[in-house]
């Protein structure tokens, strides 16, 4: 990452920390939702942007994580334990769901995951003994960690921002590791990756499972944030939205999900003047962007930055070796 | 037994509608690698074209013709020119995203510019019951079956018996070779989009009296089209027909005999089984995959 990028990230981090002090409770709720959706989108970006597997199941994993945490905390288990369980559960289910990914590619995989999302929705809706069906689960308590209650909006935002930071840092570290390189190799040229001795089978499963577990962890934060969950929140619409977030932000860019989730959270508020029409505007904007710049907003920014740099070369051109980043 | 026959007949009727939708879906895939995630909304929309024309005073038959024509124009031609053409160079995934956005766009437009309430839609024939071998079958089911079969036969004749149809098949099977043989490949691709526009309009006329015209109809119908196409085989027209029929009958039978709550789940389980055991679909041929 170049210096400009570092400055941008630091500035964004300062804004993220300082912003809640200038916001009403609803604003804090919105940016808390942003942290939650960003975590889920980071997971999907791992599967889609880095490993190149199209998944329409991320929303279902958010649902599984949310229900896992809601049911476990209401049964009296401590929140941190439930949080870890949500991640592990989604890891295992993601691993199993990853098997079809080995047999099929691209559009077929999209349909398998689409079917999975619908199945999860049906189970959540129909198994009333467990999930209370369409009535959902309400009164989900916000956790108290080591005596620190996150019941207030601001406290919960700090907690979820902390979770986002830790999970994003872990993902960043993982992508720098040989594992992350292997994921990219899978996307760029699976046959070459295989011929270089990468166990593509294992890495594909791994990408899917890790991405899914991040979805589950996002769900584990979603449940106490909203304090009410119901099956239809986790239907296909959420998976589509998460997919759009990753694409709009820029799939394969580490910070793409941050940008995409921010737009998904803020746009309905900004476009409130258009009243009911905001989804139409959003959908039209996505279609236009796909036609002009399918690499997303960060891809657009990168292109713009390159254009500016090329037009305005430094007086003494420093010797630079271009390392193509994914 | 009588109820079984009834269930099968009404299942065949819905299955035939699914088949029409799935055939259009596979045609687009075969000729231009377009995976149309908005196909369900494509079926939802013509019903509103027709209702709007009827509101302007057109009789049903005229409104239906206007609906089909508009559908060919908007969902065929405009879709191809505005959405698909600029995206083709970017590959499959951006186009998938774009059609997902399009489905949202069409759904919200129908809701905001027409109505969020389910609209009654005139049936093709007055609904009376006919007794066949002790089973009660509605004339509506029979009419749907008749129209759907006629459409499929017409499409089959077009694709297999005319020069134009064979050119389209050649385009689907090997565009490069087709171009070398002097087939105007781009125009053939455009024709498949126009045919898809007509198919979804016919499906819309058939399904709307049953489901009512509602902006959310596309969700289930689009899903049915995907499922039918994959179960039957993505690269075969007859595979899509078989898939649609299987889906319609299975949906009815499983709802009646196994579990109505999980009626949505059985097609999905079959889908997963087909993808795992026979990824090319029941009638599909194995494609050479790039990966």
Question: What pLDDT does residue A322 have?
Answer: 46
**Which residues make Cβ contacts (< 8 Å) with residue B203, sequence separation at least 6?**
B17, B20, B21, B43, B221
- The reply to whether A322 falls in a domain is no
* Distance of alpha carbon A199 from alpha carbon A297, whole angstroms: 33
Cα angle at B234 between B230 and B239, to 5 degrees?
85
Question: What pLDDT does residue A107 have?
Answer: 65
Question: Cβ contacts (< 8 Å) between B94 and chain A: which residues?
Answer: 247, 290, 294
Cβ of B264 under 8 Å from any chain A Cβ? yes
* Distance of alpha carbon A119 from alpha carbon A114, whole angstroms: 9
Name the pLDDT band for A316 (thresholds 50, 70, 90). very low
CB A164, CB A38: distance < 8 Å: yes
Half-sphere exposure of A181 (CA within 13 A, CB side): 6
Per-residue DSSP letters for B48-109?
HHHHHHHHTT--HHHHHHHHHHHHIIIIIIIIIIIIIHHHGGG-HHHHHHHHHHHHHHHHHH
More confident site: A322 or B126: B126
Helix axes B237-257, B265-277, angle to 10 degrees: 140
Residue B222's nearest CA partner among B247, B188, B259 is B247
Q: Which of B261, B276, B291 sits opposite A100 (nearest CB)?
A: B276
Question: What pLDDT does residue A294 have?
Answer: 80
CB atoms B261 and A111 under 8 Å? no
CB atoms B291 and A112 under 8 Å? no
- The region, left, alpha or beta by phi > 0 then psi within -120 to 50, assigned to residue B129 is beta
Question: What digits encode the pLDDT tens for the residues A63-101?
Answer: 999 999 999 988 888 888 999 999 999 999 999 888 776
- The region, left, alpha or beta by phi > 0 then psi within -120 to 50, assigned to residue B182 is left
Beta pairing, strands A228-229 & A144-145: unpaired
Question: What pLDDT does residue A264 have?
Answer: 85
Question: Cβ contacts (< 8 Å) between B102 and chain A: which residues?
Answer: 283, 287
Nearest chain A residue to B110 by CA: give it. A280
| Statement: residue A315 has pLDDT above 50 | no
Cβ of B100 under 8 Å from any chain A Cβ? yes
CB B210, CB B5: distance < 8 Å: no
Question: What pLDDT does residue B290 have?
Answer: 35
Question: Cβ contacts (< 8 Å) between A115 and chain B: which residues?
Answer: 227, 268, 271-272
CB B247, CB B267: distance < 8 Å: yes
Beta pairing, strands A137-138 & B135-138: unpaired
Report the domain count for chain A.
1
Topology (CATH level 3) of domain B2-277: ABC transporter involved in vitamin B12 uptake, BtuC (1.10.3470)
CATH of the domain at A298: 1.10.3470
Cβ of B257 under 8 Å from any chain A Cβ? no
Cβ of A236 under 8 Å from any chain B Cβ? yes
Stretch (H or E) spanning B176:
helix B175-180
From first to last of its 291 residues, chain B has per-residue pLDDT tens of 667 888 888 889 889 999 999 999 888 888 888 888 899 999 999 999 999 999 898 888 898 999 999 999 999 999 988 888 888 777 777 888 888 889 989 988 888 888 888 888 888 777 777 777 667 778 888 888 899 999 989 998 998 889 988 888 888 888 888 888 888 888 888 999 999 999 999 999 998 888 888 888 888 888 888 888 888 877 778 888 888 998 888 888 888 887 777 777 788 888 878 877 777 777 766 654 433
CB A196, CB A185: distance < 8 Å: yes
* Distance of alpha carbon A150 from alpha carbon A158, whole angstroms: 8
- The region, left, alpha or beta by phi > 0 then psi within -120 to 50, assigned to residue B68 is alpha
Cβ of B35 under 8 Å from any chain A Cβ? yes
Question: B261 by DSSP, 3-state: which?
Answer: coil
Beta bridge partners of A137: A229
CB A298, CB A289: distance < 8 Å: no
Those of residues 102-121 in A touching chain B at CB distance below 8 A are 103-108, 110-112, 114-116, 118-119
Nearest chain B residue to A113 by CA: give it. B272
* Distance of alpha carbon B17 from alpha carbon B44, whole angstroms: 13
Question: What pLDDT does residue B219 have?
Answer: 82
Question: Cβ contacts (< 8 Å) between A204 and chain B: which residues?
Answer: none
pLDDT, mean of residues A138-163: 80
- The reply to whether A119 falls in a domain is yes
CB A261, CB A38: distance < 8 Å: yes
Question: What digits encode the pLDDT tens for the residues A232-243?
Answer: 888 888 898 899
- In chain B, where the domains are located: 2-277
CB B213, CB B122: distance < 8 Å: no
CB B217, CB B262: distance < 8 Å: no
**Which residues make Cβ contacts (< 8 Å) with residue B33, sequence separation at least 6?**
B88, B92, B95
Question: What pLDDT does residue B287 have?
Answer: 57
- The reply to whether A316 falls in a domain is no
ipTM of the complex: 0.80
* Distance of alpha carbon B139 from alpha carbon A297, whole angstroms: 54
Instruction: Kindly list the distances between the CA atom of residue A298 and the CA atoms of A13, A259, B88, B286, in Å, as whole numbers in the listed order.
Output: 17, 8, 21, 38
Question: What pLDDT does residue A214 have?
Answer: 94
Question: What pLDDT does residue B195 have?
Answer: 92
Chosen from A123, A291, A292 to mutate, greatest number of chain B CBs within 10 A: A291
Start-to-end CA span in chain A (Å)? 11
Beta bridge partners of B130: B137
Q: What is the mean pLDDT of chain A?
A: 82
Beta pairing, strands A144-145 & A148-149: antiparallel
CB A236, CB A113: distance < 8 Å: no
Question: What digits encode the pLDDT tens for the residues A174-193?
Answer: 888 887 788 778 777 878 88
**Which residues make Cβ contacts (< 8 Å) with residue B208, sequence separation at least 6?**
B47, B50, B121, B217
CB atoms B101 and A287 under 8 Å? yes
Q: Residue A97 is encoded by which pair of tokens?
A: 């769901």
Question: What pLDDT does residue A93 have?
Answer: 93
Question: What digits encode the pLDDT tens for the residues A274-288?
Answer: 667 778 888 888 888
pLDDT above 70 covers a percentage of chain A that reads 91
**Percent helix, strand, coil in chain B (nearest 5)?**
75, 5, 20
Q: Is the dihedral of CA A166, A172, A177, A183 positive or negative?
A: positive
- Nearest-Cα distance to chain A for B88, in Å, is 9
Question: What pLDDT does residue A1 have?
Answer: 55
* Distance of alpha carbon B106 from alpha carbon B98, whole angstroms: 12
Instruction: Kindly list the distances between the CA atom of residue A75 and the CA atoms of A29, A85, A130, B48, B150, in Å, as whole numbers in the listed order.
Output: 26, 14, 12, 49, 59
Instruction: Kindly list the distances between the CA atom of residue B218 and the CA atoms of A236, B40, B89, B204, B254, in Å, as whole numbers in the listed order.
Output: 13, 4, 28, 10, 22
- The region, left, alpha or beta by phi > 0 then psi within -120 to 50, assigned to residue B33 is left
Half-sphere exposure of A260 (CA within 13 A, CB side): 33
Q: Residue B1 is encoded by which pair of tokens?
A: 């037994």
A-B C-beta contacts closer than 8 Å = 109
Those of residues 241-260 in A touching chain B at CB distance below 8 A are 243-244, 247
Question: B285 by DSSP, 3-state: which?
Answer: coil
Name the pLDDT band for A195 (thresholds 50, 70, 90). confident
Q: Which of A54, A191, A287 sits opposite B98 (nearest CB)?
A: A287
Question: What pLDDT does residue A220 have?
Answer: 92
User: What domain range includes position A90?
Assistant: 3-310
Name the pLDDT band for A106 (thresholds 50, 70, 90). low
Beta bridge partners of B132: B135
Q: Residue B258 is encoded by which pair of tokens?
A: 């196994």
Cα angle at B106 between B105 and B112, to 5 degrees?
85
């Amino acid at each position: 990452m170049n210096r400009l990028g570092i400055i941008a990230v630091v500035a964004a981090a300062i804004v993220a920390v300082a912003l809640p002090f200038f916001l009403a409770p609803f604003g804090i709720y919105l940016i808390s939702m942003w942290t939650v959706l960003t975590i889920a989108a980071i997971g999907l970006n791992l599967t889609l942007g880095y490993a190149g597997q199209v998944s329409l199941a991320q929303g279902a994993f958010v649902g599984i994580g949310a229900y896992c945490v809601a049911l476990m905390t209401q049964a009296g288990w401590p929140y941190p334990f439930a949080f870890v369980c949500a991640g592990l559960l989604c890891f295992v289910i993601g691993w199993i769901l990853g098997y079809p990914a080995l047999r099929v590619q691209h559009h077929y995989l999209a349909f398998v995951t689409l079917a999975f999302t619908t199945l999860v929705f049906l189970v959540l809706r129909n198994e009333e003994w467990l999930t209370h069906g369409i009535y959902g689960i309400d009164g989900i308590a916000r956790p108290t960690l080591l005596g620190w209650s996150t019941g207030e909006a601001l406290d919960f935002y700090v907690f979820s921002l902390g979770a986002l930071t830790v999970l994003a840092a872990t993902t960043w570290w993982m992508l720098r590791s040989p594992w992350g390189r292997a994921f990219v190799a899978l996307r760029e040229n699976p046959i070459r990756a295989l011929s270089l001795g990468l166990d593509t089978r294992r890495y594909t499963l791994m990408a899917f499972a890790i991405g899914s577990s991040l979805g589950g962890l996002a769900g584990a934060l979603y449940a106490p944030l909203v304090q009410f969950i119901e099956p239809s929140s986790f239907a296909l619409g959420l998976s589509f939205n998460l997919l759009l977030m990753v694409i709009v932000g820029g799939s394969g860019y580490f910070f793409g999900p941050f940008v995409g989730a921010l737009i998904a959270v803020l746009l309905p508020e900004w476009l409130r003047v258009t009243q009911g029409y905001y989804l139409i505007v959003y959908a039209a904007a996505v279609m236009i962007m796909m036609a002009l710049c399918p690499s997303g907003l960060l891809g657009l920014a990168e292109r713009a930055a390159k254009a500016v740099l090329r037009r305005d070369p430094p007086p003494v051109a420093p010797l630079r070796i271009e390392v193509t980043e994914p | 037994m009588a109820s079984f026959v009834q269930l099968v007949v009404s299942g065949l009727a819905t299955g035939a509608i699914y088949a029409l939708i799935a055939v259009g879906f596979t045609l687009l895939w075969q000729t231009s690698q377009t995976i149309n995630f908005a196909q369900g909304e494509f079926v939802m929309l013509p019903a509103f074209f027709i209702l709007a024309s009827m509101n302007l005073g057109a009789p049903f038959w005229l409104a239906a013709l206007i609906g089909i024509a508009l559908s060919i124009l908007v969902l065929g031609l405009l879709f191809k020119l505005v959405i698909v053409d600029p995206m083709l160079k970017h590959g499959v995934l951006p186009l998938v995203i774009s059609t997902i956005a399009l489905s949202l766009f069409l759904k919200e437009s129908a809701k905001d510019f027409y109505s969020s309430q389910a609209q009654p839609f005139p049936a093709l024939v007055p609904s009376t019951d006919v007794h066949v071998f002790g089973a009660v079958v509605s004339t509506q089911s029979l009419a749907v079956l008749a129209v759907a079969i006629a459409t499929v036969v017409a499409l089959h004749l077009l694709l297999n018996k005319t020069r134009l149809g064979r050119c389209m098949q050649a385009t689907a099977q090997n565009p490069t070779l087709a171009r070398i043989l002097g087939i105007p490949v781009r125009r053939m691709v455009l024709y498949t989009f126009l045919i898809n526009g007509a198919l979804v309009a016919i499906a819309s006329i058939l399904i709307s009296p049953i489901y009512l015209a509602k902006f959310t109809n596309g969700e289930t119908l689009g899903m049915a089209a995907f499922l039918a196409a994959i179960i039957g085989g993505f690269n075969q027209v007859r595979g899509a027909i078989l898939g649609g029929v299987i889906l319609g009958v299975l949906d009815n039978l499983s709802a009646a005999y196994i579990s109505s709550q999980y009626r949505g789940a059985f097609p999905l389980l079959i889908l997963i089984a087909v993808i795992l055991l026979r990824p090319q679909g029941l009638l599909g041929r194995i494609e050479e995959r790039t990966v």
